[in-house]
Chains A and B, each alone.
Chain A
């Protein structure tokens, strides 16, 4: 029955404990120290992770504002001037980003996953949406080797 099982368990527990009072104190102290170490480790890693995510969010919001201002500049240009301005900027050393105007959305082999990527993409979407007053924006990560530029046939590494 449950009662005899409980008594047997208690007996087995008592047998595995140290026989002396001193031994039992030592055991309690060791267990206590290990538990404190574990608790501090858990708190410390979660704080480090939070601060890393906060840093990442600040960094990505800085880049997102910069992207938004570049996009606003190109959007404000009359249609027929966009290519001329792009060529001029490239000759002069270029903007901070690679910019092109295409007839359709280029395919991007999106890479990466996890909370960090989600945070960056979410920050970019939020800032670009509110800064440019649009709702159709795609934010993706690409490997440099598979990055397409100008159209779906030209890879960056071939340029």
Chain B
């Protein structure tokens, strides 16, 4: 099934990455 990816910039040069694996 397709995987949903959400990315959020917390601070400059810091990205929180979350995938529904």
Contact = CB atoms under 8 A, between A and B. Distances in A.
11 contacts: A75-B8, A79-B11, A97-B18, A101-B17, A104-B13, A104-B15, A137-B6, A138-B8, A140-B5, A142-B2, A142-B19
Main secondary structure of the interface of A (DSSP, over half): mixed
The 9 closest A-B pairs by CB, nearest first: A98-B21, A98-B19, A141-B2, A100-B17, A138-B7, A102-B15, A97-B18, A108-B5, A140-B5
Nearest to A147: B3
A151 to B, nearest CB: 10
Contacts of A17: none
Contacts of B10: 75, 101
B8 to A, nearest CB: 5
Contacts of A139: 4-6
Interface residues of B, number: 20
Interface residues of A, number: 37
A20 to B, nearest CB: 60
A29 interface: no
Interface string A111-128: 110000000100010001
